[in-house]
Amino acid sequence: MAATKTPAVALRLGRTTSQIRYVPALPIALILYRAQFTDALQLIGPKPERLAECKHELARAMLACRGLKILDKALTPAVKRKRMLQQVKKLRAVEVSIWNERLIREVKRERAKLENEADKIVVRQGSPRKRKSKRRAVLRAHDLLADFGVRPPGLSRDGPWHRLATILLGNLDADLFEYLRDYRCPGRRRRARRRA
């Protein structure tokens, strides 16, 4: 079997690891996101000779950005620490109500473990962290417009770069202008801090 350059996605569908099928990304993206896919292609406006390559790159970008949304929903260190401290509080309440010495020792040991784990979690102060899926959508939209578009992407809220990034993200109401600006001017935030 000859190696192909088309990107592939593994589909498990209840199979073991030896039975995984690899399916090209383009059909999956077309099935799942047909309307957004055609809107994105119209925004990019690729030349006819590069249309097939653009479709494959667009499919990969859509699947990658939407896959990263799952990682964005992971617990932050602050939430993890807060939940651990809530468990510690519950274990303290249990300690008071237990009369069995052996059970009290086990509860105290478990409480001490949780307190140590909670103390190890570093919680940074400041603004909420940037979302990886939004960052990736902005990056991939810029790359698609730069590689296949008619003109380079411009920095505006209603421009093609912002619209394509929202399509890749899957949320047409998302405001990604801060991410666009951070990508275009990476040292902007550091310079502003030095002036203050």
- All structural domains of the chain with their residue ranges: 8-73+129-195, 77-120
Q: What is the pLDDT of residue 64?
A: 82
The region, left, alpha or beta by phi > 0 then psi within -120 to 50, assigned to residue 10 is: beta
Per-residue pLDDT at 7 exceeds 50? no
Residue 8: Cβ-neighbour burial (10 angstroms; 0-12, 13-18, 19+)? middle
Per-residue pLDDT at 108 exceeds 80? yes
Using a pLDDT cut of 90, give the percent of the chain over it.
6
Q: Could you read off the pLDDT of 18-29 as tens digits, one per residue?
A: 554 545 666 666
Residues 6+ apart with CB under 8 A from 64: 136, 140
Distance CA 43, CA 54 (A): 12
Helix axes 51-72, 34-44, angle to 10 degrees: 120
